[in-house]
Structures are given as C-alpha cells and as structure tokens.
Amino acid sequence: MMNDDRIAELEVRQAFQDDLIQTLNDIIVDQQKRIERLQLQVEVLARRQAEMALAQGGGDDEAPPPHY
C-alpha cells in the first residue's frame, strides 16, 4: 500500500507541474506577441521621425551653437 501512496503522490505532483508548465508557456507566448507588436511600433515611429527630420531639412546633423 505504501508504494501505491507514493505513486499517487508522484502523479499528483506531475499533474501540477504539467499545469504550471502550460501556464508558463502561455505567458511566454503572450509576451512574445507583445514584444513583436512593440518592435513594429518602434520601427514605425523611427520611420516617422526620419521622415519628419528630412521634411524639416534636418537630414544632416545640426551645427553646434555659435559659441563653440
């Protein structure tokens, strides 16, 4: 009977571990999707900033102030 109890305990632990692994995997998948969305947003913003800089004639680095 003692072995049956140990086997049951191990099965319960494995079930909890399987559930935890699935939960962590779901979190990682969600985080990866968020990271990809944020990367796209950063790329769009970088392009917009470059376009605005060119439109304002700021394509070159600004000259230093006259007191330099």
pLDDT digits (tens, 9 = 90+) for 2-54: 899 999 999 999 999 999 999 999 999 999 999 999 999 999 999 999 999 89
For CA atoms 26, 32, 38, 41, the dihedral sign is negative
Q: Which residue has the tokens 């099965």?
A: 11
Q: According to the model, what pLDDT value does residue 68 have?
A: 64
Q: Which residue has the tokens 């009977």?
A: 1
Where does the pLDDT of residue 61 fall: very low under 50, low under 70, confident under 90, or very high at 90 and above? low
| Rounded distance between C-alpha atoms, residue 48 and residue 43, angstroms | 9
Q: Is the pLDDT of residue 60 over 70?
A: no
